[in-house]
């Protein structure tokens, strides 16, 4: 099967006459007849995406089939409940797509159970947290009080149970080590729900220190240990994480939002595949997995019933059009070509790391084993992450700033730039292009300098970059993308 995003051109899918061009032209005509500014914005968005050298580690390009599956009548349907057990009538077609998406997910990841309703990664994590709370706090409480369901509890017992929900502990990776806000940090609801402690990384190596984590878990005795990250460039050994969780009586939850594509593509196997090790695994579907914007929960049999109560527990009605798109994207990810794609993501990430380090850049942990790198731009170039991000953007390279461990510039300005390869790998760029991109990044960040405020005082936000460098690098970034057109089969006319 050809790559679903960037197929080779054939007489059948030449951009002038391909079904995708026909579909999108017609769709834009229909939309434009009602609100032309929306049709124009959609056209502009794909034009911008085609021009961007996108290194945002959490973004990708979904296939036309995945995108088209979202624009239809499923959007109009309410379908609270689960397959075959809905609160609304007339859900047989929703049942079809939800069951298909779940089946593809189970097969792809070797999971006992898949719940494909979460609208996003945050929602998937909330479903998981409440499934664990329901299983480990609510169920024993109901048993102790001898009632079947919470509505039967006395006011006093209900108050006690609510206290118990709010009294639970979670251990998650710290933000500056690469963890995610939804893993128990105060700005997110998870931090307001749980008494949270975080584990960091070894200051010398930048790697997860499992002995320190074990000691912390023994002392803190969390209900849930969360593994998973959005900015850690190495692998996590989930077998060891499960051992630690078992030892302290915790449930192991893995948020694989970032690296689900590498699990699906069998790059992460054995100890590095979370599915056989964790009781519950959450993910987004739109990052390295290359599906529609959404979330998903995989779990073992012990949690399936609780997970299936995600709606209405914490989710609004499922989005059947997005579940249809999940089914399409997961079917794509089950093709052998996806394994090749996943391998190339990591090859490219390593090539980018080597190219950067060869030119003198310092990377957190000294390299990468996955789809992302974290450049310490403070040590390497004397810049904050904010300054570096903007200087790169001026030069046509889209990245995002990110904290590094013990970040001297804090979580807002930061000292890091995160660069990921899933999107450019989808376009077909390979290791030699990654080396050239490393050269471009190094050129911009070497030329950029910290700037000052309008009053002349040093600013962590402002930078100075020679306009000639920005222009030259933008041109080169543009040229580099030309042999790798995005959606080559689509011409919007
Ligand atoms: C590890 C991790 N979990 C959860 C999320 C939240 O995903 P969403 O934006 O779909 O809610 C993200 C998003 O960046 C993430 O990186």
- The answer to whether residues 196 and 185 touch, using CB atoms and an 8 Å cutoff, is yes
The atom of ligand 1 lying closest to the CA of 123 is: 11
Q: Best of 56, 129, 181, 182 to mutate for ligand 1, by most ligand atoms within 8 A of CB?
A: 182
Q: Residue 27 Cα, ligand 1 centroid: separation in angstroms?
A: 30
Q: How far apart are CA 212 and CA 234, in angstroms?
A: 17
Question: If pLDDT is split at 50, 70 and 90, which confidence band does 69 have?
Answer: very high
Instruction: Report, as residue numbers or ranges, the catalytic residues.
Output: 78, 80, 255, 284, 287, 293
User: What DSSP line would sit under 283-324, residue for residue?
Assistant: EESSSTT---S-EEEEE-GGGHHHHTTHHHHT--S--HHHHH
Q: What is the CA radius of gyration of the chain?
A: 24
Say what the pLDDT of residue 1 is.
63
Q: How far apart are CA 24 and CA 10, in angstroms?
A: 19
Q: Say which residue the tokens 């069998």 belong to.
A: 266
Q: Best of 56, 122, 372, 418 to mutate for ligand 1, by most ligand atoms within 8 A of CB?
A: 122
User: Could you read off the pLDDT of 167-223 as tens digits, one per residue?
Assistant: 999 999 999 999 999 999 999 999 999 999 999 999 999 999 999 999 999 999 999
CB atoms within 10 A of CB 452: 11
- If you take atom 9 of ligand 1, which residue's CA is the nearest one? 121
The Cα-based distances of 233 to 17, 369, 432 in angstroms read 42, 6, 21
User: Could you read off the pLDDT of 136-181 as tens digits, one per residue?
Assistant: 999 999 999 999 999 999 999 999 999 999 999 999 999 999 999 9
Q: Residue 257 Cα, ligand 1 centroid: separation in angstroms?
A: 6
Nearest to 372, CA basis, from 424, 442, 407: 424
Q: Say which residue the tokens 């979904």 belong to.
A: 62
- The answer to whether residues 299 and 112 touch, using CB atoms and an 8 Å cutoff, is yes
Dihedral Cα 467, 469, 475, 478, nearest 10 deg: -110
User: Could you read off the pLDDT of 443-491 as tens digits, one per residue?
Assistant: 999 999 999 999 999 999 999 999 999 999 999 999 999 999 999 999 9
Q: How far apart are CA 262 and CA 346, in angstroms?
A: 8
- Ligand 1 close to Cβ of residue 255 (< 6 A): yes
- If you take atom 5 of ligand 1, which residue's CA is the nearest one? 121
- Ligand 1 close to Cβ of residue 257 (< 6 A): yes
Q: Which residues fall in the annotated binding site for (6S)-5,6,7,8-tetrahydrofolate?
A: 175, 179-181
The lowest-confidence range among 6-10, 185-189, 352-356 is: 6-10
pTM recorded for the entire structure: 0.97
Q: How far apart, in Å, do the first and last CA atoms of the chain sit? A: 27
Q: How far apart are CA 385 and CA 233, in angstroms?
A: 17
Domains in the chain: ranges and CATH: 74-333 (3.40.640.10), 339-481 (3.90.1150.10)
- DSSP designation for 137: I
Mean pLDDT of 333-338: 97
- Ligand 1 close to Cβ of residue 294 (< 6 A): no
User: What does DSSP say about strands 458-464 and 251-255: parallel, antiparallel, or unpaired?
Assistant: unpaired
Mean pLDDT of 120-135: 98
Q: Residue 260 Cα, ligand 1 centroid: separation in angstroms?
A: 12
Say what the pLDDT of residue 414 is.
97
The contacts of residue 11 (CB under 8 Å, 6+ apart) are none
The Cα-based distances of 127 to 54, 150, 255 in angstroms read 31, 18, 12
Of all helices (H) and strands (E), which one includes residue 347?
helix 336-358
Percent of all residues in the chain with a pLDDT value above 90, rounded to a whole number: 96
Mean pLDDT of 115-142: 98
Nearest to 327, CA basis, from 64, 65, 7: 65
Is the predicted pLDDT of residue 313 greater than 90, yes or no?
yes
Mean pLDDT of 373-386: 98
- Ligand 1 close to Cβ of residue 402 (< 6 A): no
Dihedral Cα 287, 273, 108, 418, nearest 10 deg: 10
- If you take atom 2 of ligand 1, which residue's CA is the nearest one? 257
Say what the pLDDT of residue 487 is.
96
Instruction: List beta partners, residue 402.
Output: 416
Helix (H, G, I), strand (E, B) or coil at 392: helix
Q: Average pLDDT over the chain, rounded to whole?
A: 97
Q: Residue 145 Cα, ligand 1 centroid: separation in angstroms?
A: 37
Is the predicted pLDDT of residue 267 greater than 80, yes or no?
yes
User: Could you read off the pLDDT of 27-53 as tens digits, one per residue?
Assistant: 999 999 999 999 999 999 999 999 999
CB atoms within 10 A of CB 467: 8
User: Could you read off the pLDDT of 399-432 as tens digits, one per residue?
Assistant: 999 999 999 999 999 999 999 999 999 999 999 9
Question: What six digits make up the tokens of 374?
Answer: 């974290």
User: What does DSSP say about strands 416-420 and 372-376: parallel, antiparallel, or unpaired?
Assistant: antiparallel
Question: If pLDDT is split at 50, 70 and 90, which confidence band does 12 have?
Answer: confident
Q: Residue 176 Cα, ligand 1 centroid: separation in angstroms?
A: 16
Say what the pLDDT of residue 444 is.
98
- If you take atom 7 of ligand 1, which residue's CA is the nearest one? 121
Say what the pLDDT of residue 3 is.
86
- The answer to whether residues 102 and 114 touch, using CB atoms and an 8 Å cutoff, is yes
Say what the pLDDT of residue 356 is.
98
Longest dimension (CA), the chain: 75
Instruction: List beta partners, residue 85.
Output: 82
Peptide bond into 346 cis (omega under 30): no
The contacts of residue 183 (CB under 8 Å, 6+ apart) are 125, 170, 172, 173, 190, 196, 198, 226, 228, 255
The contacts of residue 84 (CB under 8 Å, 6+ apart) are 95
- The answer to whether residues 306 and 109 touch, using CB atoms and an 8 Å cutoff, is no
Give backbone dihedrals phi and psi of 223, rounded to 5 degrees, phi first. -75, -40
- The answer to whether residues 393 and 52 touch, using CB atoms and an 8 Å cutoff, is no
- Ligand 1 close to Cβ of residue 121 (< 6 A): yes
- Ligand 1 close to Cβ of residue 180 (< 6 A): yes
- The answer to whether residues 317 and 304 touch, using CB atoms and an 8 Å cutoff, is no
Dihedral Cα 104, 269, 262, 320, nearest 10 deg: 20
- Ligand 1 close to Cβ of residue 400 (< 6 A): no
- Ligand 1 close to Cβ of residue 288 (< 6 A): no
- Ligand 1 close to Cβ of residue 59 (< 6 A): no
Q: Which residues fall in the annotated binding site?
A: 175, 179-181
Q: How far apart are CA 388 and CA 122, in angstroms?
A: 28
């Amino acid at each position: 099967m050809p790559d679903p995003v960037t197929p080779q051109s054939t007489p059948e899918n030449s951009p002038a006459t391909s079904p995708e061009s026909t579909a999108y032209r017609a769709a834009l005509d229909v939309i434009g007849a009602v609100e032309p500014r929306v049709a124009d914005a959609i056209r502009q968005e794909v034009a911008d995406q085609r021009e961007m050298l996108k290194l945002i580690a959490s973004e990708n390009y979904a296939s036309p089939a995945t995108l088209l599956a979202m624009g239809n009548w499923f959007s109009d349907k309410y379908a609270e409940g689960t397959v075959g057990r809905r609160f609304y009538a007339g859900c047989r077609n929703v049942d079809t797509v939800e069951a298909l998406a779940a089946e593809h997910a189970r097969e792809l990841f070797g999971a006992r159970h898949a719940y494909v309703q979460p609208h996003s990664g945050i929602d998937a994590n909330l479903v998981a947290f409440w499934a664990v709370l329901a299983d480990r706090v609510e169920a024993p409480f109901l048993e102790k009080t001898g009632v079947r369901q919470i509505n039967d509890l006395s006011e006093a017992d209900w108050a006690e149970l609510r206290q118990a929900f709010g009294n639970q502990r979670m251990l998650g990776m710290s933000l500056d080590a690469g963890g995610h806000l939804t893993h128990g940090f105060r700005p997110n609801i998870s931090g307001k729900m749980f008494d949270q402690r975080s584990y960091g990384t070894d200051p010398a190596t930048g790697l997860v220190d499992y002995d320190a984590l074990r000691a912390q878990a023994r002392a803190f005795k969390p209900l849930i240990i969360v593994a998973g990250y959005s900015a850690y460039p190495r692998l996590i050994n989930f077998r060891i994480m499960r051992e630690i969780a078992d030892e302290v009586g915790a449930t192991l939850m893995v948020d694989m939002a970032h690296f689900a594509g590498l699990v699906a593509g069998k790059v992460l196997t054995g100890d590095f595949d979370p599915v056989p090790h964790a009781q519950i695994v959450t993910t987004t579907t739109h990052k390295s997995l290359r599906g529609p914007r959404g979330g998903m929960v995989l779990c073992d049999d012990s949690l399936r019933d609780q997970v299936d109560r995600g709606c209405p527990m914490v989710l609004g009605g499922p989005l059947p059009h997005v579940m249809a798109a999940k089914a399409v994207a997961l079917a794509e990810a089950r093709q052998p070509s996806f394994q090749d794609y996943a391998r190339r993501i990591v090859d490219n990430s390593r090539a980018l790391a080597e190219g950067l380090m060869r030119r003198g850049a310092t990377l957190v942990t000294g390299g990468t084993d996955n789809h992302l790198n974290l450049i310490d731009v403070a040590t390497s170039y004397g810049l904050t992450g904010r300054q570096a991000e903007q200087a790169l953007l001026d030069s046509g390279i889209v990245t995002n700033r990110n904290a590094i461990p013990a970040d001297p510039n804090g979580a807002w300005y930061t000292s890091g730039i995160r660069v990921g390869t899933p999107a450019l790998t989808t376009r077909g760029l390979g290791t030699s292009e990654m080396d050239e991109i490393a050269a471009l990044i190094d050129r911009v960040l070497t030329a950029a300098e910290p700037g000052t405020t309008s009053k002349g005082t040093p600013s962590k936000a402002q930078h100075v970059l020679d306009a000639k460098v920005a222009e030259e690098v933008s041109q080169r970034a543009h040229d580099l993308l030309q042999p790798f057109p995005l959606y080559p089969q689509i011409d919007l006319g």
